[in-house]
């Protein structure tokens, strides 16, 4: 599934990135390398962007960017 499909409160682990070039670099720099655990903290009042917990930081990503990240849902 895509990262934006995880629901608020749920966890998932990064499988791969579909982005290229600069966006890919940016996502990698945020720590979204394969194997990273992410959590959807909340969605913005208008539904987008979404706030994720990534490696101890809170990062807001729009659906477009979060859609470039393939994840596997993880039960916790």
Partner 1 sequence: MAMNIKDIYKGLDIPADIFRDKVVKSIYAHAEETAKDVIIRENKRVDWDKKLDDFLTSPLTGFPVMLLLLGIIFWLTIAGANVPSGILSDLFFGIEDKLSALVLNAGLPAWFHGLFIQGAYRTLAWVVSVMLPPMAIFFPLFTLLEDLGYLPRVAFNLDRVFKACGTHGKQVLTMCMGFGCNAAGVISCRIIDSPREKLIAVLTNNFVPCNGRFPTLIAIAMIFMGGALVLEKSTMLATIAVIGMILIGITATLLVSLFLSKTLLRGIPSTFTLEIPPFRKPQVGKVIVRSIFDRTIFVLFRAMTVAAPAGIIIWLAANVYVGNTSILAAAAAFLDPFARAIGLDGFILMAFILGLPANEIVLPILIMAYLSTGAMVELDSIEEMGNLFLNHGWTWLTALCTMLFSLLHYPCGTTLLTIAKETKSIKWTLTAFLLPTTVAVLVCFCVAQTVRILGLV
Partner 2 sequence: MGLTNQSSGINVLRERFNVKSNLEQPVIALAGNPNTGKSTVFNALTGLNQHTGNWPGKTVLQAQGTFSYKGVEYRLVDLPGTYSLLANSAEEEVARDFIYFGNPDVTVVVGDATCLERNLNLVYQIMEITPKWIFCLNLMDEAKRKKVYINIEKLSEKLGIPVIPTVARKEEGLTDLKEAIAGMVRGELTTRPRLVRYDREIEEALDYLVPRLSSVIGERYNLRWLALKLLDGDQQIINHLQAQFSN
Contact between 21 and partner 1 (CB under 8 A)?
yes
Does 29 contact partner 2 by CB under 8 A? Answer: yes
Q: Which of residues 35-74 bind partner 2 (CB under 8 A)?
A: 54-57
Q: Which is nearer to partner 1, 51 or 70 (CB)?
A: 51
46 touches, from partner 2, partner 1, none (C-beta below 5 to 8 Å by class): partner 1
64 touching partner 1, by CB under 8 A: yes
DSSP the chain: -BGGGSPTT-EEEEEEE---HHHHHHHHHTT--TT-EEEEEEE-TTS-SEEEEETTEEEEE-HHHHTTEEEEEE--
């Amino acid at each position: 599934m895509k990262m934006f499909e995880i629901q608020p409160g749920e966890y998932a682990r990064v499988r791969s990135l579909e982005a290229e070039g600069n966006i890919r670099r940016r996502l990698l720099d945020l720590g979204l390398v394969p194997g990273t655990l992410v959590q959807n903290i909340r969605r913005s009042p208008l539904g987008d962007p979404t706030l994720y917990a990534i490696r101890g930081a809170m990062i807001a990503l729009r659906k477009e960017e979060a859609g470039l990240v393939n994840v596997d849902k993880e039960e916790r």
